[in-house]
């Protein structure tokens, strides 16, 4: 699929400095799209932008933005109001703790909610509305298998990812008649710095971690195949969990989280 021809010349990646976000940025630029990249850490963000400019000659705009804050969209719009964003990828997840719900200060959990719920809603509303008016575009909300059912030690993260997937499903149906593709990209274990920071085992024999470049290529290949795409061959696993009685599904997910976490 010719992404630039189908969607336009500009892509916005919220959370685009490392991991799958970095891979998506490189692959979108190689496909002929200019980029707006947002991330919290300016150093890795600027290094990636410079590398992409040199490798592809595409225009890359960047801003250091905390995507969990209420002003994140306003900060993004400073870079995008003069261009038509054809592809929106909301990659940031703000899930950095595998811990009991009450062992984490409330403000840390609210950061997760701010990013995954408030942030995704605001960005999808603003950029999706513009795409709807133009009659073309694509929105990719990046979620997690953790959102299939509530998981102990990932209570807020799993809830937020369930919200993300449900939002994408609804928008897929609403925006499809207007030429806008919407995809809930659901990741499993992936070899990213964010997952490593969460303390997850990237070499677990039962949950092998995928390569970010492979996940990004798969995501772009299936951008028009919404509402949900389970990356790395996990559709069967997802169907199994979703088909369980809820008590069993929660037990399955909680035991899986405990298994891949480095915590006892």
Strand partners, 138: 87, 181
Least confident of 56-60, 180-184, 188-192: 188-192
CATH code of the domain covering residue 73: 3.40.50.720
Q: Average pLDDT, stretch 232-238?
A: 94
The answer, yes or no, to whether residue 194 has pLDDT greater than 80, is no
The answer, yes or no, to whether residue 242 has pLDDT greater than 60, is yes
Strands (E), 103-261: 137-144, 180-187, 228-230
Q: Which two tokens stand for residue 222?
A: 């299936």
Q: Average pLDDT, stretch 179-205?
A: 72
Residues of the chain by 3-state class (helix, strand, coil), percent to 5: 55, 15, 30
Query: What total of structural domains would you count in the chain?
Result: 1
Range of the domain at 13: 3-260
C-alpha to C-alpha distance for 206 and 26, rounded to whole angstroms: 30
Q: Which two tokens stand for residue 249?
A: 């599904």
Q: Please indicate whether residue 234 or residue 206 has the higher confidence score (pLDDT).
A: 234
Q: Taking the CA of residue 243 as centre, how many other CA atoms within 13 Å lie in the half-sphere pointing to its CB?
A: 6
What's the pLDDT at 190?
72
The answer, yes or no, to whether residue 246 has pLDDT greater than 80, is yes
What's the pLDDT at 264?
44
What's the pLDDT at 132?
98
Nearest to 21, CA basis, from 187, 221, 225: 187
C-alpha to C-alpha distance for 182 and 199, rounded to whole angstroms: 31
The three-state DSSP-derived secondary structure of the chain is CCHHHHHCCEEEEECCCCHHHHHHHHHHHHCCCEEEEEECCHHHHHHHHHHHHHHHCCCEEEEECCCCCCCHHHHHHHHHCCCCEEEEEECCCCCCCCCCHHHCCHHHHHHHHHHHHHHHHHHHHHHHHHHHHHCCEEEEEEEEHHHHCCCCCCHHHHHHHHHHHHHHHHHHHHHHHHCEEEEEEEECCECCHHHHHCCECCCCCCCCCECHHHHHHHHHHCCCCCCEEEHHHCHHHHHHHHHCCHHHHHHHHHHHHHHHECCC
Q: Strands 85-90 and 10-14, how do they pair? A: parallel
The answer, yes or no, to whether residue 191 has pLDDT greater than 70, is no
| Percent share of the chain, pLDDT over 90 | 83
The string of pLDDT tens digits covering residues 31-82 is 999 999 999 999 999 999 999 999 999 999 999 999 999 999 999 999 999 9
Residues constituting the chain: 264
| 235: preceding bond cis by omega (within 30 degrees) | no
The answer, yes or no, to whether residue 85 has pLDDT greater than 80, is yes
For tokens 């976000």, name the residue. 21
Phi, psi dihedrals of residue 150, rounded to the nearest 5°:
-60, 140
What's the pLDDT at 193?
58
**Structural contact between residues 185 and 140, judged by C-beta atoms closer than 8 angstroms:** yes
The answer, yes or no, to whether residue 263 has pLDDT greater than 50, is no
Least confident of 47-56, 92-101, 139-148, 153-162: 92-101
What's the pLDDT at 189?
75
Average pLDDT, the chain: 91
């Amino acid at each position: 699929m010719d992404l630039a021809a189908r969607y336009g010349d500009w892509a916005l990646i919220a959370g685009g400095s490392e991991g799958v976000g970095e891979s998506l940025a490189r692959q979108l630029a190689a496909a002929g799209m200019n980029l707006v990249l947002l991330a919290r850490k300016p150093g890795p963000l600027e290094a990636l932008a410079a590398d992409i400019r040199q490798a592809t000659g595409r225009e890359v705009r960047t801003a250091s933005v905390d995507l969990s804050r209420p002003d994140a969209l306003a900060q993004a719009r400073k870079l995008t109001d003069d261009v038509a964003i054809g592809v929106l990828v909301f990659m940031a997840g703000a899930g950095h703790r595998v811990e009991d719900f009450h062992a984490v200060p409330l403000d840390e959990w609210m950061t997760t909610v701010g990013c995954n719920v408030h942030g995704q809603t605001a960005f999808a509303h603003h950029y999706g509305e513009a795409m709807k008016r133009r009659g073309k575009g694509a929105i990719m909300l990046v979620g997690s298998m953790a959102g299939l059912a509530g998981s102990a030690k990932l209570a807020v993260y799993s809830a937020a990812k369930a919200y993300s997937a449900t939002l994408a499903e609804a928008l897929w149906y609403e925006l499809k008649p207007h030429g806008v593709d919407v995809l809930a990209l659901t990741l499993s274990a992936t070899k990213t710095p964010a997952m490593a920071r969460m303390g997850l085992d990237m070499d677990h024999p039962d949950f092998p971690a995928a390569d970010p470049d492979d996940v990004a290529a798969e995501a772009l290949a299936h951008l028009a195949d919404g509402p949900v795409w389970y990356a790395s061959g996990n559709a069967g696993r997802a169907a199994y969990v979703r088909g369980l009685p809820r008590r069993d599904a929660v037990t399955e997910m909680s035991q899986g989280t405990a298994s891949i976490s480095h915590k006892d």
